[in-house]
Amino acid sequence: MPKTIHTELQQILLIFARLSDTERQLFISQMNKYLLASSSQRKQLVERWRDLPDTPPQHNDTLCN
């Protein structure tokens, strides 16, 4: 694995470790949806995630749809 990808993965894991329990559960829920989705559903999920504002939503249900 190239060093840059390894470093990026480490950073992602560190960010995940800093999440609250609620945020961690939401992340895992979204990851499971992605992993179990068909390729077309995955594309839709990625598009939705890209369209989300950079600021955290007021309600978590924005991410759950």
Q: Which residue has the higher pLDDT, 2 or 45?
A: 45
Give me the pLDDT at residue 65, please. 52
- pTM for the structure as a whole: 0.68
Report CA dihedral (54, 30, 24, 11) to the nearest 10 degrees: -60
d(CA 60, CA 56): 9
Range of the domain at 54: 3-64
Residue 3's pLDDT band, with cuts at 50, 70 and 90, is confident
Q: pLDDT digits over 5-62, tens only? A: 889 999 999 999 999 999 999 999 999 999 999 999 999 999 999 999 876 655 554 5
Q: State the number of CA atoms in the 13 A half-sphere of 48 facing the CB.
A: 14
**How many structural domains does the chain have?**
1
Give me the pLDDT at residue 55, please. 64
